[in-house]
Amino acid sequence: MDEVTFKSDTVLSDVHLYTPNQRHLMVRLNSTGQPVFLSHFKLVWSQDSQIDSGTEGGNYRDVPTEETLAGTGSPGSPPGGSCSTEGFPLQASTDATGQEGAGAQLDEDGDLDVVRRPRAASDSEPAWCPRDKVWRGALFLADYILFHWDVFQGRTVLELGAGTGFTSIIAATVAHTVYCTDVGADLLAMCQRNVAFNSHLAASGGNVVKVRELDWLKDNLCTDPEVPFSWSEEDISDLYNHTTIMLAAEVFYDDDLTDALFETLFRLAHKMKNACTAILSVEKRLNFTLSHLDVTCEAYDHFYSSLHQLEKHRDGQLRFTVEPVEASFPQYLVYERIRQLELWKIFVEPVT
């Protein structure tokens, strides 16, 4: 880590820094040179008003556009509460430094951040839009889960490359058990804290989020009890016997990791006792690369190729069917839904 080399075709994508007036600390680089940040959030959302069973498609009921989060003591929490789009309020509280208001306020690039006057109650838009470091593709996938809640209700779900744990937490509002997985003790500790911050969303329905290590570059799950976030035999049995949905969002930015993800998905699918569906969220990013001296989307092209190579695979045991998801479901979360965001489903069924 003393010498960091960025390759010419390595692109640091637009991670959305959704918390103003905070200094986000990069704690390390991952194996492909991408920065790893630690970030925490809390969602302000009443589970009591969650599901509108009378709405076609399992839509969520509208909830107040502003809601006060009192008594959290979270550094950086705004005095006004939260804002929402399409009726889903999102309150983010980040403790990257634990300090606010000391000296000049800087944005994520080190520039002076001007705090604007809060809007009046009569203004047409919410006064303040709290945001956290959540990839756009994760928000896109979360919207899909919120709309198609009935698909996830009571299920066991595995998320690969969970990052902040946001998508896992959203899934746990309806899924019975969610395995929130990634690699790195610091990253997993952050996930665990975010799960604890938002335990009210899952606990009210008796659901649970389990944070576990799952390294795509290793064939087996870690079962060493001395290792933080390792798997128990009970966890492994539950994972393989009950999982029917696998999720992955915004993890297709490096060809080697994309290969590792598909190999992991393939390996896990052969151990699952039930047919399952993998739902993958990806943003098609156009980047200028020195190798081509042109604007390309190599990471997406490799993902797309890997997706269809998996569909063509024949081993006499499982059939993989790939299907794009039409982005016609409503948007509940605050982010820019661009046309480059895509969802893909992989249906995994035994060969009969």
Question: Per the structure, how many domains does the chain have?
Answer: 1
Residue 140, phi then psi, degrees to nearest 5: -60, -45
| Cβ atoms of residues 48 and 203 within 8 Å | no
278 in a domain, yes or no?
yes
Question: Please, which residues bridge with residue 282 across strands?
Answer: 342
122 in a domain, yes or no?
no
Residue pLDDT, tens place only, 80-134: 223 333 334 444 333 433 333 334 455 665 554 545 445 444 444 332 233 446 8
Sign of CA dihedral 221, 225, 228, 232: positive
248 in a domain, yes or no?
yes
Report the pLDDT averaged over residues 309-335. 94
67 in a domain, yes or no?
no
Is the per-residue pLDDT at 255 higher than 70? yes
CATH no. for residue 293? 3.40.50.150
| Cβ atoms of residues 274 and 337 within 8 Å | no
pLDDT number for residue 32: 52
Question: Please, which residues bridge with residue 162 across strands?
Answer: none
Element (H, E) at 321: strand 318-325
27 in a domain, yes or no?
no
Q: And the tokens for 130?
A: 């709290």
Element (H, E) at 199: helix 199-203
Place of tokens 């079962």: 223
Q: How far is CA 135 from CA 80, 113, 213, in A?
A: 25, 22, 20
83 in a domain, yes or no?
no
Q: In whole angstroms, what separates CA 173 from the centre of its chain?
A: 14
| Cβ atoms of residues 208 and 178 within 8 Å | yes
pLDDT number for residue 27: 56
Cα gap 212→231, rounded to integer Å = 7
pTM of the model: 0.71
Residue range of the domain that includes 220: 133-350
86 in a domain, yes or no?
no
Comparison of pLDDT for 58 and 246, the residue scoring more = 246
